[in-house]
Amino acid sequence: MDTLLYFDRWVLRYLLSVQPGGKDHAAYLSLVGCALWRHPHVVDYCRNKAPECASFVDMALAQVPPGLDMQAARQAETDFLRCHETFVVYAWPEAMERVDYIADWDRKWLDELIDLRGRVVLDVGAGTGRLAFAAARDALRVYASEPCDRLREYMRDRIAKSGITNMKVLDGTATCLPYEDATFGAVLSGHVVGDDYEGELREMRRVTRPGGWLVVCNGDDGFRRTRPDPELIRRGFEAFRHESPSGGVIFNYRLRV
């Protein structure tokens, strides 16, 4: 549960709120309360880092049943963290690098989509820098936009250790990018677009120069997809398919702006 101490405010705002997707709100509230019960220092951090979540935390703790035992509390902690394993791995970049969608990925799949030589490139939701570091080998300059502070610092440390001079890391989300209109010759992303297709793609288009490219280059995993993303195809993206070394079927996409 101490992992929560590494989370940014926007992550806590998501975790400590009514969950999307039709989840049972009462059950989730109880789960959060039981998970936080043994960790007053985590509760204090959440209240101060994300004051807007304080009332949710209070309601959750009020659901803790009298006489909750350690075994039940531990199970709640485990279940809570499993619900949000994506965010948990964001807090541990070194572990994230070992996940299949990064460890099994090959930069040849990016090279298949676009020639980055001479381009100024943006990687949206860069994570640990899978696409950004690959792009930096060829691109004129690369900007890595990432809302998680832990991941931004991880990329900055790697840049410093590697002596890379053409890459810069900044904050920003897919729907709020801190760049002027028509800045980039290519805007890259992977496992980012999908929560808000219209808002995300509109913002990514905004910062792309006319004639530039939007590229969705996903990582490798074991999931055997049967078709490209219909929302991207409907919006004019071209799809590319390959077999993943993890055993899955991966689709990548590109669109000329």
The pair of structure tokens assigned to 18 is 């009514």
pLDDT at residue number 177: 96
Backbone angles phi, psi at 144, to 5 degrees: -105, 115
Domain 100-256 CATH class label: alpha beta
pLDDT at residue number 185: 98
Q: Give the whole-angstrom CA distance, residue 14 versus residue 1.
A: 16
List CB contacts of 220: < 8 A, sequence separation 6 or more.
Answer: 100, 101, 104, 105, 106, 244, 245, 246, 248, 250
The dihedral region occupied by 208, where left means phi > 0, alpha psi between -120 and 50, and beta the remainder, is beta
> With 0-12 CB in 10 A as exposed, 13-18 as middle and 19+ as buried, what is 120?
middle
Q: Could you tell me the CA-to-CA distances from 139 to 134, 170, 185, 206, 214 in Å, in that order?
A: 9, 17, 10, 20, 15
Hey, which bits of 41-96 come out as E strands? none
The secondary structure element, H or E, covering residue 94 is: helix 93-96
> Model confidence over 221-234: pLDDT tens digits?
999 999 999 999 99
Backbone angles phi, psi at 196, to 5 degrees: -150, 80
pTM above threshold 0.75: yes
Q: Strands across the sheet with 141-145, in order?
A: 167-170, 141-145, 120-124, 184-189, 208-216, 249-256, 238-243
> Model confidence over 98-141: pLDDT tens digits?
999 999 999 999 999 999 999 999 999 999 999 999 999 999 99
* Pairing status of strand 238-243 against strand 141-145: unpaired
Low-confidence ranges of the chain (pLDDT < 50): none
pLDDT at residue number 19: 76
DSSP 13: H
Q: Give the whole-angstrom CA distance, residue 3 versus residue 115.
A: 39
The one-letter amino acid code at 62 reads A
Domain ranges of the chain: 2-91, 100-256
